[in-house]
Amino acid sequence: MNIAVLIKSVIATDEPIIVRGGIIEDSGAKKVINPYDEYGLEEALRIKEDVGGTVTVISAGTEKCVEALRTALAMGADEAVWIHLRDGEADEHTCSLLLASALKLKAYDLVWAGHLSVDNGAGQVAIRVAELLGWPHAGAVTAFRLAKGEKGLNGEKGLNGEKGEYGKKGEKEKILLVERDAEGDSEDWANRGSGIWLHVTKDAEGDSESLELPLPALLTAQQGLNEPRYPALAGIMKAKRKPLTELTPADLGVELASAEAAPRTVRLDCDAPPARAAGRRLEGSPREQAVELLSLLRSEANLLKEVR
Amino acid sequence: MERGTSAHGGEGAMATHIVVAECRDGQLRRVSLEAIAAAKGCMQDGDSLAVLLLGGGDGEATASVSAAAGLLAQRGPDEVIVIDHPILGRYAPEVHLAALLAAAKALAPEARWWWLGHTAIGRDLAPRLAARLGAGQVSDALAAARGADGRIVFTRALHAGKALERRAFVPGAPTVVTVRPNNFAPAAIVAGPAAPICSLPFNPPPSRIIVRDVVRRASGAVDLAEARIIVAGGRGVKSAAGFAPLAQLAALLGGAVGASRGACDAGYCDYALQIGQTGKTVTPDLYIACGISGAVQHLAGMSRSRVIVAINKDPDSPIFSVADYGIVGDLFEVVPALIEEWNNGV
């Protein structure tokens, strides 16, 4: 199975953020692979170890991508792709076009990415990529397994299949996919989209949804999916010899200034949030503190009025 | 009524803004009213506003969709479009996207401004819509205001709130916005006749995703991102059982339970409850931090809450630096006292 993982270099979450002149200072800050991307990378590596195949890590951005890509190679990825971009040159629209183009260079079966990045926090790029590729996606995945035309797919009905006429159509759809699996070489994991189903559990505001989707597909990793490994020394040495391909937007056929690819949004400015002043400490016994807190929340903070 | 057969529908409906409303557990979500307010705040003369509601399934689901449509129609849109189809009872990205596009097509001219709540569904659906339309998207907007030059300026958090950016759309392409719950005042009921409610037929595409099962595990009915009150616990809670008094207090106040990364990593609770730079960024009216020291990642995720209460044994905990009300003490004494005094009617 050929797996791609979209990764981003971000300032580590334990670093303070310093804004100077409308720009976030990042030259001195410690950078890491976006933690959510790292969960996706770990899962991709586990799949490779389980069924074979390759893991390609792809990142778009400035030179800071290189360290993240090398770390991913040290963790066990096979090859890396760095798409050159200058800061501020792309928004999520442009970035997703570049990544989708890069993903067309090889026949990938599965793409992992992070649920969101801890810097921009928009959570757009990966899902945009799925749409641009015309693939199904599942976001915020907390558990994952592969299944090859399992029995469960023949018999039991999914929730979609339990209601109304559409459900019956959905049922037929499923059977077709299972048949396709039976006709193909079911042992050939490299056979793209050969009736292999992904069973995923995703987080939806505290609920957990169990989904099945066929390959090729894109998944975004949520916290709780796994515990990412640390690169071993041998891995770090090996990583230096693994291929890291550099591509420009032009190499990918994307003209950044064109109407099609140009950013749709632009940052006007950026600053630190207003500092929050520490308030007051409540004294006395726990009971006295509790009474004072409840009355202050009502009288001073104008809270807890509509509750009772 | 079916859209196109009404006096209002069909040609002449100049909707340029479309708010995608959402129900959860049969109830209209507050963030949908907040999204209407955000859209209204950015409209100019001649713009119009349609609200789209997707849902359906059994008779009960249809009843709640129609109740929600009634509520939406009172909040000042020009029309409410309902797509009621069994398949829309469960979220599947491509099917819901098809419904959005069907609604856009029915509007003349097609919607140029899309507004969604930054919810589990909104954050999953909006980027697919934006990619399909070649649109720009501003995610998780905290504020929107029309600037002096006439363009709309959005405020959003970077690094989970350690910095804020102002962002605007480049003119030309369609635009998609998701708004963070609890940051816009919900659209109020508008006097006068309610907007017409039109239903739209829908032929869903086959979904490549099969939803097998949905397990509700949210503690209580209140969703963390949308909660007005959050009672959160950290390592100081010491165990999964230690969360019981916090959950009890949250239930009394009509709030939700959250947690710090420390508490999640220690296995006291599920990662779904985590608040911080990894995890959820929340902006409730009241945030009660119990046994949370206040690591920089956690502060990033909650320090935009309106009122913060910190309960911690360590008087030097960083959490006190952002707390409006600080209580230096044992949460296992203070929280039960709060519960008891609340029950005493204080």
**Domains of chain A, earliest start first:** 2-148+195-252 (3.40.50.620), 150-185 (no CATH), 281-308 (no CATH)
CB contact at 8 A, A50 and A196: no
The confidence score (pLDDT) of residue B146 equals 87
Look at B127 and A290 and tell me if their CB atoms are within 8 Å: no
Provide, as residue numbers in chain B, all residues whose Cβ is less than 8 Å from the Cβ of A129.
131
Which runs of E-coded beta strand occur in chain A? 2-6, 9-11, 19-20, 23-24, 31-33, 54-61, 79-84, 110-114, 137-148, 196-204, 207-214, 217-221, 244-247, 265-271, 280-281
- Look at strands A265-271 and B163-169 and give their pairing: antiparallel
Q: What is the pLDDT of residues A258-282, one digit of tens each?
A: 999 999 999 999 999 988 888 999 9
Most confident of A74-83, A175-184, B277-286: A74-83
Are B17-199 and B229-343 the same fold in CATH? Answer: yes
Cα distances (Å, whole numbers) of residue B342 to A174, A293, B256: 54, 11, 17
Q: Say which amino acid occupies B109.
A: P
Of the candidates B164, B217, B337, which has its C-beta nearest A273's C-beta?
Answer: B164
CA distance, residue A51 to nearest chain B CA (Å): 23
B265 interfaces chain A, CB cutoff of 8 Å: no
Cα distances (Å, whole numbers) of residue B325 to B3, B25, B98: 53, 34, 48
Upstream peptide bond of A249 is cis (omega within 30 degrees of 0)? no
Look at B328 and A281 and tell me if their CB atoms are within 8 Å: yes
Kindly report the pTM of this predicted structure: 0.88
The confidence score (pLDDT) of residue A26 equals 87
End-to-end CA distance of chain B: give it in Å, rounded.
Answer: 50
CA distance, residue B7 to nearest chain A CA (Å): 31
Of the candidates B137, B218, B300, which has its C-beta nearest A206's C-beta?
Answer: B218
In chain A, the percentage of residues whose pLDDT exceeds 90 is 69
Environment class of residue A306 by beta-carbon count within 10 Å: exposed (0-12), middle (13-18) or buried (19+)? exposed
CB contact at 8 A, B139 and A121: yes
B145 interfaces chain A, CB cutoff of 8 Å: no
> d(Cα B240, Cα B238) in Å, to the nearest integer?
7
Residue A226, pLDDT > 90, answer yes
Provide, as residue numbers in chain A, all residues whose Cβ is less than 8 Å from the Cβ of B135.
93, 264
Look at B210 and A167 and tell me if their CB atoms are within 8 Å: no
Residue A160, pLDDT > 50, answer no
> d(Cα A98, Cα A46) in Å, to the nearest integer?
27
CB contact at 8 A, B20 and B54: yes
- Look at strands B307-312 and B325-328 and give their pairing: parallel
> d(Cα A168, Cα B81) in Å, to the nearest integer?
27
> d(Cα B34, Cα B141) in Å, to the nearest integer?
11
Residue A211, pLDDT > 60, answer yes
The confidence score (pLDDT) of residue A206 equals 75
User: What's the angle, vertex CA B239, arms to CA B235 and CA B243, rounded to 5?
Assistant: 90
Determine the residue of chain A that is closest to B261 in CA distance: A223
Look at B278 and A13 and tell me if their CB atoms are within 8 Å: yes
- The domain covering B17-199 belongs, at the CATH homologous superfamily level, to HUPs (3.40.50.620)
User: Which pair of tokens denotes residue B330?
Assistant: 């044992």
CA distance, residue B144 to nearest chain A CA (Å): 13
The confidence score (pLDDT) of residue A12 equals 96
Which residues of B, range 111-130, sit inside 8 Å of A by Cβ? 119-121, 123-124, 126-128, 130
* Range with lowest mean pLDDT among A41-55, A142-156, A255-269: A142-156
CA-wise closest residue to B89 among A206, A211, A167, A200: A167
- Look at strands B175-179 and B136-141 and give their pairing: parallel
Determine the residue of chain A that is closest to B126 in CA distance: A124
The confidence score (pLDDT) of residue A229 equals 96
The confidence score (pLDDT) of residue A306 equals 66
Determine the residue of chain A that is closest to B173 in CA distance: A264
The confidence score (pLDDT) of residue B328 equals 96
Sequence-distant (6+) residues with CB within 8 A of B272 are: A203, A205, A206, A208, A224, B217, B218, B224
Look at B166 and A167 and tell me if their CB atoms are within 8 Å: no
CB contact at 8 A, B16 and B109: yes
> d(Cα A305, Cα B253) in Å, to the nearest integer?
10
Would you tell me how many other CB atoms lie within 10 Å of the CB of residue A44?
28
Q: Does domain B229-343 have CATH number 3.40.50.1220?
A: yes
Count chain A–chain B contacts defined by CB atoms under 8 A.
317
Q: Residues A225-241: what's their mean pLDDT?
A: 94
B167 interfaces chain A, CB cutoff of 8 Å: yes
Provide, as residue numbers in chain B, all residues whose Cβ is less than 8 Å from the Cβ of A270.
158, 163-166
The confidence score (pLDDT) of residue A190 equals 32
End-to-end CA distance of chain A: give it in Å, rounded.
Answer: 57
User: Which pair of tokens denotes residue B220?
Assistant: 């209580």
Residues of chain B with pLDDT below 50 are: 4-15
> d(Cα A19, Cα A42) in Å, to the nearest integer?
32
User: Which pair of tokens denotes residue B10?
Assistant: 């069909």
CA-wise closest residue to B324 among A83, A94, A104, A292: A292
Complex ipTM more than 0.85, yes or no: yes
Look at A35 and B253 and tell me if their CB atoms are within 8 Å: no
Q: Domains of chain B: which residue ranges? A: 17-199, 229-343
Q: Residues A55-78: what's their mean pLDDT?
A: 97
CA dihedral of residues A184, A189, A194, A197 (deg, nearest 10): 130
Cα distances (Å, whole numbers) of residue A130 to A5, A133, A202, B127: 13, 5, 17, 9
Give the residue carrying structure tokens 């990042």.
A26
Q: What is the mean pLDDT of chain A?
A: 85
Look at B163 and A272 and tell me if their CB atoms are within 8 Å: yes
